[in-house]
Structure 1
Amino acid sequence: MKKTIYTLSGLVLFAVSCTKTPVDYAVVSGKIKNVEKELTLYSADMKFSKRLELREDGSFSDTIREKLGGHFTLGGLQLYLGKGSDIAINGDAADFQNTLAISGKGSAPSEYLILKRKTQADLMGKDPKLFFQQQEMEFKEANDRIRKTLTGALDSMKGGISEDFMKKEKRNLDYEYLQTLQEYENWHGYVTQNEDFKVSDGFLDELDDIDYNREEDYNFSQAYKEVLNRHYAEEAHKLVKQDSLPVAFAYLKALETISNEAIRNKMLFGAVRSSITYVDENEREEYYTAFKAASTDKDNNAEIEKMYNGLRALAKGNPSPGFTDYENYAGGTTSLDDLKGKYVYIDVWATWCGPCRAEIPFLKKAEEEYRDKNIEFVSISIDQEKDHDKWRAMIEEKELKGIQLLADNAFESEFVTAYLIAGIPHFILIDPEGTIVSSNAPRPSSPDLKKLFDRIL
């Protein structure tokens, strides 16, 4: 009897020792030539990022533990990382299209995503404008051909792709098809220069059967998110016309109707995080209160509360955050304190920002009109250090006036983060004592800027 007990004990110990610990991470490694000292891996929702340090020969290796079971981007490359993935990425950044190779455990979904991107580019053609220039039926057929071709490509990789990924991606392809249908009206009007273009009745009927409460699809498919964004933006537009609500308030009200709590919370958070900075200062408390009443996610609420409190510190009459020793295109460095005694109108911009460049002619006009007034026009570029020469070249090419400065750490510069700037261009007005007149001043292209200047100067 005693021997039997020892044998059973041994079996129990053996079973315990052979039990595998669940793998809760993914490994990404490889070698990429002709790239900078580091690459940054981003999750699809941009809430997670990790810098992958490159060795001198371009090789790298790192362990990822967050956002697994989802999409990532790495230097423009689309990846899918699941728990237990161990993928190797090799290629030349100077010619990714012809040199890129992905291999290893769990690499099939990423290989499919690369094939998908290439197939989409081939089927749409070199100039996407020509794709949207097609007439309605021709466009629908071409769009559906892309969906069917990609579905076939996905089916051909069944051996290495999980059934779960296959099901989700096939639904995603349907959403991408529908998203492209949604985009057709605006794009076709733009490329044909027909601003009054409207799609025919029935063109968007395929969107009528969408379920707007599929949490699994929301977490997997960016196209599904975009379809939802467009749907609720249209609902908000109706409220603007019906109840004369400001756009931000109307969109918030439209999102409140979402029955799926997780989707509602995520969309509310995304909307408020990107817009609260731009809501009129006199209406911001009401906007924040409306968000709190609709959102039930404690972490999201805490982050928005932090932003709201930060914006309260940027209210009119409060001391402005400062910047110190920013490189001046004209030579030397400039700090905000150097400009005391004058109003300071600040344009936060970058060479890569199209809307920023669109404001340049209007900014030049304002500078000329008020050049004899007590005001300095300051442009702060948040270009990265590697684009330093591009910054100087654009100043010369566009003959930019005013004080041209380069921030010390791009978007992460202390001045930029202190003003909670989420997008550019962004304009700020500071008075001669260094206090805030407006943390979100009108753009040069807005008639409100002239009204503001004429009132204070």
Structure 2
Amino acid sequence: MDTIKTNPMKKTIYILLVMTLVLVSCKQTGPVDYALVSGNITGKEGELTLMSEDRTFSKTLESGKDGSFSDTIRTKPGHFFLRDGKNVVRLYLAPGNEVRVNADAGDFDNTLSFSGKDAASGRYLKLKGKTITDLTGDMKSFYAQDETAYREANKGIGTALEKILDSMPGLDEGFIRKEKRNLHYEYLNALNIYQNYYAHFADDPDFKVSDGFLDELAGMDYNLVEDYNFSSSYRQLLQDHYRERSGKLSESDSLPGEIAYMKVLTTIPDETIRNGLLFGHASNNITFVSDLEAYYSIYASASTDEENNAVIKKSYEELKALSGGNPSPVFSGYENYEGGTTSLNDLRGKYVYIDVWATWCGPCKAEIPFLKEVEEEYRDRNVEFVSISVDRNKDRDKWKAMIAEKELKGVQLLADKDWESDFVKAYVIKGIPKFILIDPEGKIVSSNAPRPSDPELKKLFEEVL
């Protein structure tokens, strides 16, 4: 038998090639840690924003001149909102998902479609939203129904949605299972909000639901991590449950509401839920708290999520720099409604009471009558009332129109870069309205001043003016 000689160098190269192919193959078949979101929104060029439903994740997606976009999303599974500045698409994303969103910006609702191997959840959520809108109809009429009619209407919505869910082809079994539980939580949450909504829409502020109306919430399990991660209605029910407990603690121990709420959250046995609710409240409310040190101490002692903790610690340190007596951050060259521009330094020599607001903000507009009253009462005192709008520059005409319509007084300014303005970011403003008081030397009196409707504002003015 003949012997075939082999070249040692060729053999070595061959072995290395085989090993490389094996490694590449293994890498390609490993678990994917991202979702792929792509699509084309015709007539839309520029940026899209993808934000998680719980607002813990946000990413800007760039679209080309033809409206096309594509990006990988690395975050925990959940519901997301894709916004093009005007229109909103609801998506469910998890690692390994691939979904393509297509629409014409000029006729968005009628042209919105989904493709890709995980398109079914997008189709379901689109149809779900339309069904809820159609069956709810006019909000005032819907929420002003009597208890029996309201309960039955919500049961009917749940039944219709479950039929859609069962008949939608291509949905993942895990999604179906979790969504069915979510539909039940949406029903329970609808019952839970009924008292406040009826009181508002029926103009009956003293309305109370009858005994037994909320019996279906009795015995609810508040420690279901999978449901917490999937369902915003379940999370809302949890928050309301713990707020009710914190209200009792606040009253019994004479604690500020935000301190009592954080104390209650520290007692949650499940780590994921505890961390999530602590972070959710702190990320949105730490800038408003009356006792920063106590609030942060409670948070830091109970949260075990290092990534969350780094975010809250950064906010805490920024807010410490805004304590009374420290120099105030400044704004420069803000557009003045009366013409020209205004900077904070132009107002030196007076106390400056700043209202950060926007034309689209309901709670901001609710403060207008009270602000007018305070302005009138203190017009001859050494205080300047300044309103800074965080409306976008493209909404300048809306800003001007509301000032004229509401006959707003004081110094009316438009921030240079809305929420991204240096002044807004320096004051760690997470929500509006936000009120700030600065002394004649440009030092902070209060970075979280009382709002005009709060009697404490006049007490503060009498102390310093």
Partner of 2:56: 47
TM-fit CA distance, 1:12: 8.2
TM-fit CA distance, 1:70: 2.0
Partner of 1:299: 307
Change (3 A) 1:394 1:128: same
The letter of the residue matching 2:144 is Q
The letter of the residue matching 1:111 is R
Partner of 1:352: 360
Partner of 2:166: 155
Partner of 2:135: 123
Residue number among 417, 421, 425 corresponding to 2:425 in the alignment: 417
Partner of 1:272: 282
Residue number among 13, 21, 30 corresponding to 2:39 in the alignment: 30
Partner of 2:229: 219
Partner of 2:7: none
Q: What is the distance in 1 between the residues matched to 2:398 and 2:29?
A: 51
The letter of the residue matching 1:132 is Y
Residue number among 53, 74, 91 corresponding to 2:103 in the alignment: 91
Change (3 A) 1:287 1:49: closer
Q: What is the distance in 2 between the residues matched to 1:399 and 1:36?
A: 37
TM-fit CA distance, 1:14: 7.1
Q: What is the distance in 1 between the residues matched to 2:213 and 2:268?
A: 25
Q: What is the distance in 2 between the residues matched to 1:93 and 1:315?
A: 46
Q: What is the distance in 2 between the residues matched to 1:88 and 1:62?
A: 9
Q: What is the distance in 1 between the residues matched to 2:422 and 2:20?
A: 57
Partner of 2:249: 239
The letter of the residue matching 1:171 is R
Runs of 4+ in 1 over 4 A off after TM superposition: 9-19
Q: What is the distance in 2 between the residues matched to 1:261 and 1:68?
A: 16
Aligned pair 1:81/2:93, yes or no? Answer: yes
1:73-122 residue CA offsets vs partner (Å, 9 max, x unmatched): 11221012233433322223343322211122211001100010011111
Change (3 A) 1:50 1:271: closer
Q: Which runs of 5+ in 2 are unaligned?
A: 5-10
Partner of 2:114: 102
Q: What is the distance in 1 between the residues matched to 2:412 and 2:45?
A: 27
Partner of 1:143: 154
Q: What is the distance in 2 between the residues matched to 1:49 and 1:292?
A: 24
Partner of 1:342: 350
Pick which of 247-256 and 296-305 moved more: 296-305
Change (3 A) 1:26 1:289: closer
Q: What is the distance in 2 between the residues matched to 1:28 and 1:440?
A: 40
What SS is found at the alignment partner of 2:360?
Answer: coil
Q: Which runs of 5+ in 1 are unaligned?
A: none
Q: Is the 8 A contact 1:27 1:61 kept in 2?
A: no
The letter of the residue matching 2:152 is E
Change (3 A) 1:337 1:204: same
1:193-220 residue CA offsets vs partner (Å, 9 max, x unmatched): 2222222222111112321111111111
What SS is found at the alignment partner of 1:105?
Answer: coil
Partner of 1:198: 208
TM-fit CA distance, 1:128: 1.8
Aligned pair 1:189/2:185, yes or no? Answer: no
Q: What is the distance in 1 between the residues matched to 2:160 and 2:63?
A: 36
Q: Is the 8 A contact 1:82 1:106 kept in 2?
A: no
Q: Is the 8 A contact 2:34 2:75 kept in 1?
A: no
Q: What is the distance in 2 between the residues matched to 1:71 and 1:304?
A: 23
Q: What is the distance in 2 between the residues matched to 1:14 and 1:35?
A: 42
1:124-178 residue CA offsets vs partner (Å, 9 max, x unmatched): 11x1221222221221111111111111111112x41111111111111111111
Pick which of 104-113 and 367-376 moved more: 367-376
What SS is found at the alignment partner of 2:116?
Answer: strand
Q: Is the 8 A contact 1:48 1:66 kept in 2?
A: no
Change (3 A) 1:17 1:409: closer
Q: What is the distance in 2 between the residues matched to 1:334 and 1:298?
A: 42
Where in structure 2 are the equivalents of 1:435-446 lying within 5 Å?
435-446=443-454
Q: How many residues align?
A: 448
Q: Is the 8 A contact 1:382 1:407 kept in 2?
A: yes
Where in structure 2 are the equivalents of 1:299-338 lying within 5 Å?
299-338=307-346
What SS is found at the alignment partner of 2:218?
Answer: helix
Q: What is the distance in 2 between the residues matched to 1:274 and 1:71?
A: 19
1:328-350 residue CA offsets vs partner (Å, 9 max, x unmatched): 11111111111111111111000
Q: TM-score, normalised on structure 2? A: 0.91
The letter of the residue matching 1:149 is A
Residue number among 336, 358, 370 corresponding to 1:362 in the alignment: 370
TM-fit CA distance, 1:296: 2.1
